[in-house]
Chain A
Amino acid sequence: ETGVTQSPTHLIKTRGQQVTLRCSSQSGHNTVSWYQQALGQGPQFIFQYYREEENGRGNFPPRFSGLQFPNYSSELNVNALELDDSALYLCASSLGVGSGVGETQYFGPGTRLLVL
Chain B
Amino acid sequence: QQQVKQSPQSLIVQKGGISIINCAYENTAFDYFPWYQQFPGKGPALLIAIRPDVSEKKEGRFTISFNKSAKQFSLHIMDSQPGDSATYFCAASDSNSGYALNFGKGTSLLVTP
Residues of A within 8 A of B (CB): 4, 31, 33, 35, 40-45, 48, 50, 55-56, 58, 90, 92, 94, 97, 102-110
Contacts and interface: CB of A to CB of B under 8 A. Distances in A.
Contact of B101 (A4, A33, A41): A33
Contacts of A110: 42-43
A43 B34 contact: no
Interface stretch (B12-20, B60-68, B74-82, B102-110): B102-110
Interface residues of B, number: 25
B97 interface: yes
Q: Which 10 A-B pairs have the closest CB atoms?
A: A42-B103, A107-B43, A103-B99, A103-B32, A45-B100, A56-B98, A109-B43, A55-B98, A107-B44, A110-B43
B66 to A, nearest CB: 15
A90 B42 CA distance: 10
A107 B44 CA distance: 6
A56 B97 contact: yes
A97 B100 contact: no
